[in-house]
Chain A
């Protein structure tokens, strides 16, 4: 089933022509942003330098850290009055990255979500429970409006209260759910503990964090559903950039909206199909916030063969990160954000370690931080208060509950060269 068959199956010369036209438009749009204007001018580049979609390689990369410099609205290419919504995502330090949308952007995004949901076999007959955070996180409103556009009955259940979520699925005859894979597994366990089942549920779309094939099998067999992988990032609208089709063999990346490349993250050199590297995306239709060769940090590859479903380019499921970003319960966390918070607390030193574990299928983050010798009052109360204060400040910065452990001064490992402050102990499941 197709939502937008023409765009979903556009191939060959027709696709190249559209991509070329849109890439040139995107460059002129990006020139309205001082950051891009200066960068392009410095390299003597403009829309006229582009003759084929592959010429995108001439353009400079854009990094997550560049977006930080533009906080809050420095990357908007349209007047503020044309922005109708913003979302935010984790920045690399103290401030989040703000992304903006024009009315057309929101329509384009909803169209992509509608394509994805239709592709996995959902129709207006279906009931869709959107069990993700509805705030500044793009997953909530993004899926919500796409599912409404498609015509499904949408339940904006958001997160939390798992028993109530299960009750709604059964009372409302929910056929499809969107959440993080970790939360889906948690729901599965609670369903089993309650001695109940979810007979109406048939399709799960899971995203915002990487998940394995083992986890897919687990979810599919225990919930009797088909589970599909959803990929995206706020910088490129949000979820919906690439999505699995019923073949469950790679994610179709929508080529009319995103020009994708795989590069060697160290050298920046372009890699061919079947070669593993970092995904780099240039937006082709974004008005409010066009991005040129955006370094996603996600490691994947372009799959070589054609998909029987008739749609275009596929990328493999995400295999990891080229940087140190962590995804904890669907929330992106950069160790530099943690460092930024700790540096602002004089009672602790600048040495820390981050441990990530999975307990009951949910991610837990523990941060060991060295007590500052001068700040020790000799009393236990002060230490407990300090620990609580650090947890609160981290929560404010990361939107994530963490466990903070004060450790003795000098007890954490010192690194010569590249510090390895993050220990991810989560297994596959």
Chain B
């Protein structure tokens, strides 16, 4: 099943001004949501905060209650060795598989390092990565 490897990223529209990240983080803290990974993409006066969290639905509802524009975005997570060459190995697999990356960010988890990818065709990318020998995470594997 490819679907089990599709992970729900939470994307939050945020103005590019002091205090916005704090407001988001505070809301997540108060609703006891743990953040595994996050990144900020910025354009001119605004940006999108992207996060992988343990309770995406709770996170979405608390942020929407605060007035934020929030969306779920499908991403995939590739396991990397947490040692020199770990990224190179995975990047090679992605290149060989012909995967076009829209954006990516990474974190070091307890068991391994993880590369989060946003790709245009997630299902196709999953098969290609697996065929090229890559190892993907399920939502329950995060953390």
Q: Is B13 touching A383 in the complex (CB atoms < 8 A)?
A: yes
User: Which residue, of A371, A383, A409, has the highest number of chain B Cβ atoms within 10 A?
Assistant: A383
Q: Is B15 touching A407 in the complex (CB atoms < 8 A)?
A: yes
CB B95 to nearest CB in A, in angstroms, measures 23
* Complex alpha-carbon distance, A244 and B48, angstroms: 54
Chain A residues with CB under 8 A of B46: 383, 405-407
Chain A residues with CB under 8 A of B11: 376, 378-379
A-facing residues in B1-50 (Cβ within 8 Å): 9, 11, 13-15, 20, 41, 43-48
B69 interface contact, C-beta 8 A:
yes
B135 interface contact, C-beta 8 A:
no
* Complex alpha-carbon distance, A377 and B70, angstroms: 8
B71 interface contact, C-beta 8 A:
yes
Q: Is B67 touching A379 in the complex (CB atoms < 8 A)?
A: no
Which range holds the interface residue count of chain A?
Answer: 10 to 19
What is the chain A residue whose CB lies nearest that of B73? Answer: A378
One of A372, A379, A405, A411 near B44 (C-beta < 8 A): A405
Q: Is A376 touching B69 in the complex (CB atoms < 8 A)?
A: yes
CB A368 to nearest CB in B, in angstroms, measures 8
Q: Is A410 touching B67 in the complex (CB atoms < 8 A)?
A: yes
User: Which residue, of B41, B44, B69, B72, has the highest number of chain A Cβ atoms within 10 A?
Assistant: B69
One of A379, A406, A409 near B45 (C-beta < 8 A): A406
One of B43, B64, B68, B70 near A383 (C-beta < 8 A): B43
* Complex alpha-carbon distance, A379 and B69, angstroms: 12
A373 interface contact, C-beta 8 A:
yes
* Complex alpha-carbon distance, A263 and B67, angstroms: 46
Chain B residues with CB under 8 A of A371: 13, 69
Chain A residues with CB under 8 A of B14: 408
A18-40 vs B: 1/0 string, CB under 8 Å? Answer: 00000000000000000000000
CB B75 to nearest CB in A, in angstroms, measures 10
Q: Is A411 touching B69 in the complex (CB atoms < 8 A)?
A: no
* Complex alpha-carbon distance, A247 and B102, angstroms: 67
Q: Is A380 touching B67 in the complex (CB atoms < 8 A)?
A: no
What is the chain B residue whose CB lies nearest that of A370? Answer: B69
B115-139 vs A: 1/0 string, CB under 8 Å? Answer: 0000000000000000000000000
Q: Is A408 touching B68 in the complex (CB atoms < 8 A)?
A: yes
Q: Is A376 touching B71 in the complex (CB atoms < 8 A)?
A: yes
A387 interface contact, C-beta 8 A:
yes
CB A63 to nearest CB in B, in angstroms, measures 37
CB B39 to nearest CB in A, in angstroms, measures 11
Chain B residues with CB under 8 A of A411: 15, 67
* Complex alpha-carbon distance, A342 and B11, angstroms: 25
Q: Is B45 touching A405 in the complex (CB atoms < 8 A)?
A: yes
Q: Is B73 touching A408 in the complex (CB atoms < 8 A)?
A: no
What is the chain B residue whose CB lies nearest that of A375? Answer: B69
Q: Is B48 touching A380 in the complex (CB atoms < 8 A)?
A: yes
CB A321 to nearest CB in B, in angstroms, measures 29
A86 interface contact, C-beta 8 A:
no
Q: A371-B69, A373-B69 are in contact. Are A380 and B15 (CB under 8 A)?
A: no
Q: Is B43 touching A380 in the complex (CB atoms < 8 A)?
A: yes
Q: Is A379 touching B15 in the complex (CB atoms < 8 A)?
A: no
Q: Is B45 touching A376 in the complex (CB atoms < 8 A)?
A: no
Q: Is B67 touching A408 in the complex (CB atoms < 8 A)?
A: yes
* Complex alpha-carbon distance, A120 and B79, angstroms: 80
Chain A residues with CB under 8 A of B68: 408-409
A168 interface contact, C-beta 8 A:
no
Q: Is B45 touching A378 in the complex (CB atoms < 8 A)?
A: no
A345 interface contact, C-beta 8 A:
no
Chain A residues with CB under 8 A of B71: 376-378
Chain B residues with CB under 8 A of A407: 15, 45-46
What is the chain A residue whose CB lies nearest that of B72? Answer: A378
The chain B residues found within 8 Å of chain A, CB to CB, are 9, 11, 13-15, 20, 41, 43-48, 64, 67-73
A/B interface sample: 27 pairs, CB < 8 A: A371-B69, A373-B64, A376-B69, A376-B70, A378-B48, A378-B73, A379-B73, A380-B47, A380-B48, A383-B13, A383-B43, A383-B46, A384-B43, A387-B43, A387-B44, A405-B44, A405-B45, A406-B46, A407-B15, A408-B20, A408-B67, A408-B69, A409-B67, A409-B68, A409-B69, A410-B67, A411-B67
Report, nearest first, the 3 A-B pairs whose CB atoms are least far apart. A378-B71, A378-B11, A410-B67
Question: A376-B71, A377-B71, A378-B48 known; 10 other A-B pairs, CB under 8 Å?
Answer: A378-B11, A380-B41, A380-B47, A383-B43, A383-B48, A387-B44, A407-B45, A408-B14, A409-B68, A409-B69
